[in-house]
Amino acid sequence: MAISKNEPAVGGVQSFKLPDVGEGLVEAELLSWYVKPGDEVGVNQMICEIETAKAVVELPSPFAGTVRELLAEEGQTVEVGAVIITVDDGSGGSAPEAAPSADSEEREKPLVGYGEKAASTQRRPRRRPGPSAPVSPPVPRVSEPAPANTPAVRETRAAPAPAPARAPGRPLAKPPVRKLAKDLGVDLASVTPTGDNGVVTREDVRAAVGQAPGGPAAAETVQAAPAAAVDRTARERRVPVKGVRKHTAAAMVGSAFTAPHVTEFLQVDVTRTMKAVARLRERPDFADVRVSPLLLVAKALLMAVRRHPEVNASWDEENQEIVVKDYVNLGIAAATERGLVVPNIKDADAMTLPELAAGLKRLTETARAGKTSPADMSGGTITITNVGVFGVDAGTPILNPGEAAILAFGQIRDMPWVHKGKLKVRKVTTLSLSFDHRLVDGELGSKVLRDIGTALEDPELTALAWG
């Protein structure tokens, strides 16, 4: 893995900046540290695990020495180029012990997660009254008396004790805390903050509502908070959109509103495919891989691409050209705990069936373990999504950005089917092919879908006929 240039050693202390481990990524989430201050590390020893917009990656240390400081926390999103760890390589001794000036301290201590920042970019300190300046009492938020039935008045009655003096202005609180206070009818100006730097927390708001249980304040609180004022946040969960999920969301929105999608459907009798899967599982050359219907669907798609290479293409907006690719990097959509990822098997069209099966196994196991590399995520040319594993018959898949087509493979069900002139119960599935109508017209899309269906109806005969 290429490591970005890091800070030169100062007094033997090396600074390691977060590198760009993908294709122009700007940030990553630090999932976990493998080391702590005081640990000894060697060159290329894995020191942490990060999640980029494309994959989870382990970072090796470019230095050997003693870990001095970790400058990013687990769960924090860090910009590429920010210093995340310092290592003392023992080459220069410690820095002189002198009281740093305010300016030098700002330069030497990076803001965690964002690297070094010049003093001019720091927030100006709040003005505080000097020793000789008289301290004026807090300015009330409401200059005129409010009606007796307003929440602000009720809260004032409930908490007659004056709050500690603090600088006038808007109380410090995060948006969810402000919403909670609004729902409960609490005036944040009357709440005593306990958070860092005077920030009002959820617990502070709830404490303001439930002061002095059983006393007069509690009685006033009951009047101030009617039954309809329910803490809705207690029944909601907020999931940060970042990493793989953030990248997928942005990519799907871009694809849906850039490429004109068309989707066609085809029901296929795959009884012979299922029999072929059972026979392949008994062969010695497939003993170490998992043979599934998806393997033969992938092979059918590759045969269709060979017959209709124009479907394996991309749209070059800048040059207004269609780029037809004479290789197939077959993408397989995989659902993981961190969201949907689409790694691809490089040059899948040149593989034998056992090689393709091994590639599918490696790809799916790596994706489920969250260890898909950025290289496996880039360069795809056409994709399969297996919605059948979720018990779904069909869907209208959205194109993977930069590709002309995506095939959805539905669940295989026992259904009544006319076979050789008689009604029988057969194994049936539904195929859905979405394609970019700028590159693939209805005729080409229909031919590709029909060829895939033909290959699955009789996989052995098709393999002999089409190779």
- For the chain, which domains are there? 13-88 (2.40.50.100), 250-466 (3.30.559.10)
* Cα separation, 355 vs 352, whole angstroms: 5
User: Beta strands 382-386 and 405-409: pairing type?
Assistant: parallel
461: nearest Cα among 266, 269, 273: 273
* Cα separation, 188 vs 204, whole angstroms: 9
* Cα separation, 343 vs 363, whole angstroms: 7
* pLDDT tens for each residue of the chain, 467 residues long: 444 445 555 568 999 999 887 656 788 888 889 999 999 999 999 999 888 766 778 899 999 999 999 999 988 888 889 999 999 988 865 444 434 444 434 433 333 333 343 333 344 444 444 444 444 444 444 444 444 444 443 444 444 444 444 445 567 777 677 778 877 888 888 888 888 778 888 888 888 876 433 434 433 433 444 445 556 666 787 877 776 667 677 777 777 778 889 999 999 999 999 999 999 999 998 988 889 999 999 999 999 999 999 999 999 988 889 999 999 999 999 887 777 889 999 999 999 999 999 999 999 888 888 788 888 888 999 999 999 999 999 999 999 889 999 999 999 999 999 999 999 999 999 999 999 999 999 999 999 999 999 999 999 988 888 87
Residues 210 and 216: beta-carbon distance below 8 Å:
no
Extract the tokens encoding 193.
């903050």
Per DSSP (E only), the strands in 5-162 are 7-10, 13-17, 27-33, 40-41, 46-51, 56-60, 65-70, 77-79, 83-88
315: nearest Cα among 444, 443, 435: 435
3-state secondary structure of 342: coil
CA distances in angstroms from 231 to 199, 220, 234, 236, 251, listed in the order given:
20, 18, 6, 10, 35
Full DSSP string of 396-465: -PPPPTT-SEEEEE---EEEEEEETTEEEEEEEEEEEEEEETTT--HHHHHHHHHHHHHHHHSHHHHHHH
Alpha carbon 333 to chain centroid, angstroms: 15
* Cα separation, 54 vs 376, whole angstroms: 10
* Cα separation, 267 vs 249, whole angstroms: 30
Residues 410 and 235: beta-carbon distance below 8 Å:
no
H helices of 225-316, in order, are 243-256, 271-280, 293-307
CA distances in angstroms from 251 to 244, 370, 403, 463, listed in the order given:
10, 19, 12, 36
- To the query of whether residue 261 is one of the catalytic residues in this protein, the response is no
299: nearest Cα among 353, 253, 344: 353
Residues 267 and 429: beta-carbon distance below 8 Å:
yes
Q: What is the pLDDT of residue 65?
A: 93
Longest dimension (CA), the chain: 103
Phi and psi angles of residue 20, each rounded to the nearest 5 degrees, phi first: -85, 105
Residues 303 and 455: beta-carbon distance below 8 Å:
yes
